[in-house]
Amino acid sequence: MADAETDILTAEQQACLALWAVPGLGPRTLVALRAFADGSLAPLAATPVRDWVSQAPVSSQVRRKLASVEHRRRWRGGCGKPAGRPA
């Protein structure tokens, strides 16, 4: 959960929420992506999508949606305040 004092989401939470918002990407795909990323989704958010999307275990529809993202802030954008920034 978010830190109760600062109300900031962790990088893992932000990545999870951002990926969850991608149409066609559901709970099974999140599990597969977490395994693909060695147990944590946060590194995916910290790496340009173009560097990992072609190898990601996602459907072609989801791959196209992710590949169209130019910058990680766009796919992470609606998931709360960036970690480490003051409220």
Looking from the CA of 87 toward its CB, the CA atoms found within 13 Å total 8
Tell me the mean pLDDT in the region 24-29.
93
Can you give the pTM of this predicted structure? 0.71
Instruction: Give residues with Cβ within 8 angstroms of 49, minimum separation 6.
Output: 66, 67, 69, 72, 75
Tell me the mean pLDDT in the region 20-49.
93
Q: Does residue 80 surpass a pLDDT of 60?
A: no
Distance between CA 10 and CA 16 in Å, rounded?
10
Q: Does residue 47 surpass a pLDDT of 70?
A: yes
pLDDT of 68: 86
